[in-house]
Structure 1
Amino acid sequence: MTGTPHHRPPHATVSPSAHLTDEITALLLPLRKMQRRHQAELDLYRTADGEVIDERYADYDDARQRTAMEAGDALDTLLERLENLVAVPSRRPFTVAVQGPGHEEGAAAWLFVVTGTSLDDAHRALTRLPSFQQWQADIRPPDGYETPGDAQLVPGQSHPGTRESGSYIDLRHEQAHAPLRRTTSPAPASPGPRPSCGPPRRPR
């Protein structure tokens, strides 16, 4: 993460449709990448005219099944996130800034993006995600028994919407697969998948 974090003014106004544009863009980018990747994989078994090479039919069928299964999973996630956009009350992206256990004075907060009906709701949703719980365990200092166990919300650096790409850890994909709305209390920390962007880094 490079550059200085951009802090929005406390009373900045945001277009009512801004979060819709941001969410739809966040949905389209990975889908387009997946489409190009699938096309390139299937092209290995097709001629320049798009016809399947006779002796590669078996490999082509295998590739079609693999790509179709991945596309099906992506469609499930897409539907879940689109339903969030039209849900009542509406769910929108929030940038949630937190200070982890053992946070050094003056160090920048960590930024995560999840959806919620409010900042408090988004923060609760974040704390229930396995990768966030694993992150807390990973950054806890060796003498963690002397340090508060949970990351603390930084309201002044949290806000609706997202910042520039690459300045935050986007956990909306994981959130779409988690039954957060059926959870009544945070689950205990347990090993889980790490954020898709790799090990978290503070913005500089």
Structure 2
Amino acid sequence: MSTNTAEGTAPPLFSSDPTALAWDLITGWEAMTARHKGELAPLLTEDGGSIRQGALVAFDQVRTEQSAEAEQMLAEVMRGLTEVYGSPLSGRTFTLTWAGRERHDGEAPYLWVVVGADLDDARARLQELPSFVEWREQEEDDVEELDGPANQHPGLPFGGYYNDLRKEQPRNAPVG
């Protein structure tokens, strides 16, 4: 998500690197919870197990403010996750395996990950996605879909590199 400014377009609010995003969110959460504990500490008994006598009103006020801040942080976390990963798609994740010209040289086939209502729907959706269409064209249609449960299955591949096209799929397309 970019922001338009007088100087042009500002950089995204969140890193597009999922690991960096996760670390930023964790770091922010840890800092907030540490600060919250520090704010509450003077209102608690020495062992931290009870509210000090006469501090209940102040404790409730601090916790109310902290709850509002935590709610705002959750909204930011969800916005960041949606910005990096996109809105969830309706359906299930499937892995589909296709071999291109590389198979003639003994190289491994390509694994594609998409969302569909079922395996047939996932196959149909893959055929429509620009990255897959471009790959087929580059392979001059010398491609072959590999069948069988090891090559066509629900979920992510069991390991290795794969082409995750879920972000490329339209968000408003009906499933099935």
TM-score interval, normalised by the smaller of the two chains: 0.3 to 0.5
Larger Rg: 2
Report which of the two has the higher share of strand.
2
Instruction: Report 1 or 2 for greater relative contact order, CA contacts < 8 Å, sequence distance ≥ 6.
Output: 1
